[in-house]
Chains A and B, each alone.
Chain A
Amino acid sequence: MRKLLILILTLIMALSAVACGEESVQSGSSDSAGGDDTVHTVTIYVSSGEMSAKNDDAYVKSKIEEKFYQDRGIKINLDVQVYSESDFNDVMSNKMASNSWDAAVGYIGQAGIDEIVISQNVCMELSDMIPLYDNLYSLVQDELTATTTIDGSVWGIPSLEFSNQYGVLVRTDYMARVGYTVEAGHSDDLGPIDAKPNGKLKTLVTIADFEDMMYRMKAQIPEITAPLSGYPWDVESTLTVGPFSNSGYTFKVVESTGDSGAATSVVPGQIAESYYETICLEYKWSHDGLWEEECYTGQKDKKIQSFVNGKTAIFTVDPEITKLISVARKCKAANPNATFTILEPLYGVDENGNKTDKRGYMAKQKASSCLVINKRSSKNEVILEYLDWLASEKANYDLATYGVENEHWISSGEGKYVYPANKKDRYETNPPYSGMYGLLKWQEYSYKLYDHYTAEEYGWIDTVRNAPTFKNVCENMLFIGEPTDMALNHQTAENDFFQDCLVKAWNGVVDPSTTFIAQAQRYRTTAAEYLTWLTNQYNLYTISRK
């Protein structure tokens, strides 16, 4: 017994020596001494749902720092740490409390960096500093409004993503089975819903056609459980946004304007009168089995599974085009006879069923994420210098985002790259570099796709990039700083509205035509102060940007 104890103790001491030894090898994030050779360590926390550490990150980091030193004469140590979006909240709260961060990157939106960091009054105000960096300023100045509050203070540096990102993936073989096609010029009458088309063809043009097509699919194709798969916010940013000119429940909407052009009522999308048609349509689709079960609560993986198994025909879950293409490929692998396409935005219809010219997909806000700097950080100049360096030459940004040219990627044309031949298999399953040192997605500045798409798929990407878009009027407005008592009533009003109207409609259980008006009125009463505040904010933003 005693011997056993002694053995265990020795083992522990050995292990602890090892563990302690490991730590001391790593240098902390303090700067090394020395005059002009000071190494500036910059600690940046990044919130990302898509990025994760990869094997060659350290190698690329050293290359970046080397080139940065050659070009700008500053020694930088980029301490970039990537966390998932939910972890970021926990970690960032602690880092802010202990003041151990220099910069942070995250998305703007609900529970985004604007709510978590900017509203806490810990960010450095940048309106004086950014113009000092020419390259950076000329690159981002158009979108700076996204991080600027009413008083003209600039709190962060925006990203520049494409506004054309979304599409709708459809199984054209299923479409053909009910007589629909995306080719122009067909207009046969297909007969009753459950009648087989027998060679007749109709072009899919309007949202009325789309609904008709779904009814036919449900009736005639037994493999399909429900033709449409997508979350409400996805459906509202692709299918309904154009025809109803309504950006959906997640965006703020200007309901009415006064004589001078100022808004007299700005409300969250879900209670706007213009949303009524959309929610009624969604109810109808869900109630009649056209929209999948658990459209609001189901897990993304399961929705992808359903599509891959052929149980759904139209897929708009997280409808960014490259993701849609990967889902299409998965489906093709499981169903070799399946064929696909990406739809052009649908046209709307008026009361008489005639086609209107309202169409488009939701425009993604270019500045969907931003970088903020700690107001107590002494590294602000270094950070801005680094961003300026990225903005000065595309080669720098490409190095920081895609890796070392010719080692990690080889350019294969405008906006495309391939992997070096001998590493292709390895890199396809496990990409070498995460892209984390690029910090912000400046897609409009430099964007490269991995060149493994077929011509058909490139055509789809073009469809999306050229599709007409619908821009939300409240774009680039930071609605932060909501007073707390208003915030509580606002939250209560939202919870109640969701519970009693929206969710029940999306599940096809309660017809919103019976609940919407009363519930929206209740919302307006409970959150009246919030709505006034929101309208004022909108007007002040508009006028300060004239």
Chain B
Amino acid sequence: MRYLPLTTADRKAMLSVVGAKSIDELYRDVPREAYLTTLVDLPMHAGELEVERQMGKLAARNVSAGSVPFFCGAGAYRHHVPATVDHLIQRSEFLTSYTPYQPEIAQGTLQYLFEFQTQVAMLTGMDVANASMYDGSTATAEAVLMSARVTNRKRIVLSPNLHPHYAETVRTTAEAAGLSIIEGNETALDDKTACFVVQNPDFTGAIHDITPLSDAAHAKGALLVAVVTEIVSLGAITPPGEMGADIVVAEGQSIGNPLNFGGPYVGLFATRQKFVRQMPGRLCGETVDAQGNRGFVLTLSTREQHIRREKATSNICTNSGLCCLAFTIHMALLGEDGFRKLAALNHDRAVQAADKLAKVKGVELMTPTFFNEFTLKLAKPAAPVVDQLAKNGIIAGVPVSRLKPHDKAAQNLLLVAVTETTTPADIDALVAGLSKVLS
């Protein structure tokens, strides 16, 4: 077996040092009735070539986004990732290291985490950010729990235009933690409310000035949690931090990370300086070493599970290290100019697509404002239309009914995302496809 260095002779020599006759003897604490004497009924080991063949067969049964005109978004976006990113994250020293518990030999990881935290704080317009969560949806759940800790209140209000799967994730986590969740607008705020959760651009793609919401929340002593599922949007629109948000959570997948069928992604979490000690997750901080040289360490770990156990601010341990490295590298390549241009390009293509699609008979554009994703109302239910177009080699977008199956008003709605990877020919193909299916 190519990954196992011990030879039969090694094992024999080592067993004699240990004082055992066989490896089986080392398992003597296992109750005999539970110790297997035969192998589990699975195939035997296989060489690289054989594994590649088996995996390749499964991969070939999927339609990859890059092979067709492709318009899915709803919390996961297809962007171009520079070759440099994937090369650098595969360097052994990044790929095969652990959480930086020994800072003297983990400055590489720690410094990029510090750079990542700075980038996230800048993008969101907040003071500080943590070293990542699992993804945008779990980061939103953590933000809700944090707002309950900060305010010592238990009532959570979710905007109706929060991504339905985010809302379900929050509901699942928060209800177990003893919080009550309601859906509503700012009129639902009261002086028992811990936070109002609003997505911007919202689930339909529409952009809002959330400043009045922040003011309304603050007037009741509640926090405003802003959710961003498309981080590229912050290259074009006012960040939540400039509109009064107290916590900003986001899905960072768009920068540096492929679609990966939904994971692994990278959750971004930013807040105000005054709430730092209530934050979940790892934090990297600057310090000096014994010779006075600048260095970085994991800090404020008294918030964390390995120190505080049941009193920790979160149970998170492993987070999204390598995905946030990909984010950091891609963002470093983009820089101010590149990131703004990328955002403008996305918006540009989306506007072109929306205008062309709105002219198709049986299609109505429902979102007058948007960044790179908008909602169309079709003359027919959207799900079968999407299935029909998929058969013709066009992945037209996400039918809203897939995420809101019980909402009759959503049946004919289609979410369409357009990024810099979408070509004019892709847009024309969607226009032609929709025209045909809707006629």
Q: Do A and B bind each other?
A: no
B contact residues vs A (CB 8 Å cutoff):
none
